[in-house]
Chains A and B, each alone.
Chain A
Amino acid sequence: MNNIVVYCEIEDGQVAEVSLELLTKGRKLANEIDRKLEAVVIGHNLNGIEEQVFPYGVDVLHVADNSRLYPFLTLPHTEILVNLFQKEKPDVALFGATSVGRDLAPRIASSLKCGLTADCTSLIFGDHTENKTKKEYKNLLYQIRPAFGGNIIATIINPETRPQMATVREGVMKKEVFNTSHKGEIKHIKVDTILRDEHMAVEILERHIEKQKVNIKNSQIIISGGYGVGSKENFDLLFELAELLGGEVGASRAAVDAGFVDHARQVGQTGVTVRPKLYIACGISGAVQHTAGMNESSKIISINNDPKAPINQIADFNITGNVEDIIPKMIKFYKKNIK
């Protein structure tokens, strides 16, 4: 009753990264208001799945295991969650802002007539007094997200409806094991009493899901290039430096749009959020949509030929000059002094 629940996505028997990140957040939120953390896993052949989620502090794990539930299909997953939420009445329900979560969560919100906020970048509890009625609310979930193309940050609340639903992108929250020996309770959902043939309206004929290729998110050093890098060839310099330092190459959207690198490397509001210990921004102006995805990096270096580039305001070191002149010097120094 009135707990925090996280929908855990499954791909190939693995709980998705974003779901583990949400469990970490969910555990903290649950502690704050003294509630339990619940997780829901829907799929097939889920024996032992609890081992993946209990270490994140899950108190109750709801499992729906049936051959018709994997791969993900909108209607059966919606039906099971709507049923569960009607019974358990969670206070907060969190979903990954992924192709699955963004497909599923709105249907549930529509069915339960409750509020849903997409792509939150921060979730905290706070109080609220309604202006007109002076009615007071304790511990509402503040759902904080950029809006209007990233030009403003909005705090959204749902005073009256439950659950308070939100989606969060992968990489936005931090993943952290709560306790390796933590054990929760498993509850099995009776799938057959819920699913009907009409829920199987969509049939998957083919499916090609790639394992995540590049994953810059987990890299501690990111050399990121923007439009100012100028060409695919100049990006090779960034790759060379990244390899030398044991890092990955990231990019701004302008660089991705220009075809210099793959979208998988895009950092920012519509790319991945990263927080490495070193972020080198090369020829990146520092639009808010970009900085939203990297401003929590421990150290930021900006290489830009414009000393007034906005990114310089959040950087620890600014080098004013051309990317193509500076990177080779960094490579040279490193090669000479290390090994």
Chain B
Amino acid sequence: MSFKIVVLAKQVPDTRNVGKDAMKADGTVNRGALPAIFNPEDLQALEQALMVKDQVEDAEIIILTMGPPRAVEIIREALYRGATSGYLITDRKFAGSDTLATSYTLALAVKKIQPHLVIAGRQAIDGDTAQVGPQIAQKLGIPQVTYTEQILDVNLDELKIRRRLERGVEVVKCKTPLLITVHSSAAECRPRNAKLLMKYKHARSVSELQEESKDYTEMMTNKPYLRLEEWSVADLGADEEALGLSGSPTKVKKIENVVLAKKESVNLTTEDKDIDYLMKELIDSHVIG
């Protein structure tokens, strides 16, 4: 029996590089100006899976990503690095899902695969909640090990893991099936592999195939691994009430843009008299001294 690993990965806007053109004149976020990237900790999650695959005989890595059709890029990116296969979970009915509705959906998808190990990034940079991993584990009724820094030992039945906590480290062991989330201090993901890039560069999702002008029929018949399956609400047998806005207990009441409140400030120069004035001010008002 092969060791099945599911890696959960998300395509996110690159909020770390919010440049000047990413904010519109009215102060709202211009999502279009942000590049879509592989969520950094999910990429590190993939590396953990690849390292397990390097060690365990006959391991299989299945990428699950939920998002709009273009999120299939995540699956291709993972295939270029050594993942075995992937599914894109996409349906308009998922729109507006909060972490609870998302975890419900992903848990259904994981159940279809029945893996030994589920690996996710700790959190996605567009939300920073770190909730989806643990919420999925609870829905699956399996244990979790969060903030994984390194998998120290792995076999079909059990893993030994080092966790990175705020103020220290912990080494734990746990039987499979198990869900782990990967911390940013874990190893960076290996680069794309040139051979795999050649092998998978024509991999296409079902939606992409419908849009392609080129005829892929023959290629898909000869190389079925290039066909990337999509799962919809119906494929997952999901309860529509538990999805999207209706399945999301949290609602956004209000969004405000961050504006700094201006203060009246005193402007000073490097000259001694200015610095002396300031220091005297601070001492006299008992702020220092």
Contact = CB atoms under 8 A, between A and B. Distances in A.
A105 B129 CA distance: 11
Main secondary structure on B side of the interface with A: mixed
B216 to A, nearest CB: 37
Contacts of A329: 270, 272, 275
Interface in A225-281: 245, 277-278
Contacts of A207: 168-171
Interface stretch (B142-150, B193-201, B203-211): B142-150
Interface string A309-339: 0101111111111100110011001100110
Given A209-B167, A321-B270, A333-B275, A107 B137 contact: yes
A201 B173 CA distance: 8
A116 interface: yes
A55 interface: no
Interface stretch (B2-10, B35-43, B98-106): B98-106
A319 B258 contact: no
B269 interface: yes
Main secondary structure on A side of the interface with B: mixed
Given A106-B131, A109-B131, A278 B270 contact: no
A142 B137 CA distance: 28
Contacts of B113: none
25 contacts: A99-B147, A102-B130, A103-B134, A105-B131, A106-B129, A106-B131, A106-B134, A118-B127, A118-B129, A146-B258, A151-B15, A151-B257, A155-B255, A156-B251, A201-B143, A202-B143, A204-B171, A204-B172, A208-B170, A298-B287, A314-B260, A315-B265, A317-B266, A317-B268, A319-B269
A110 B103 contact: yes
Contacts of B250: 115-117, 143, 156-158
B186 to A, nearest CB: 15
A221 B286 CA distance: 12
Contacts of B127: 118, 147
B280 to A, nearest CB: 8
B266 A159 contact: no
A209 B165 CA distance: 8
Contacts of A202: 143, 145, 172-174
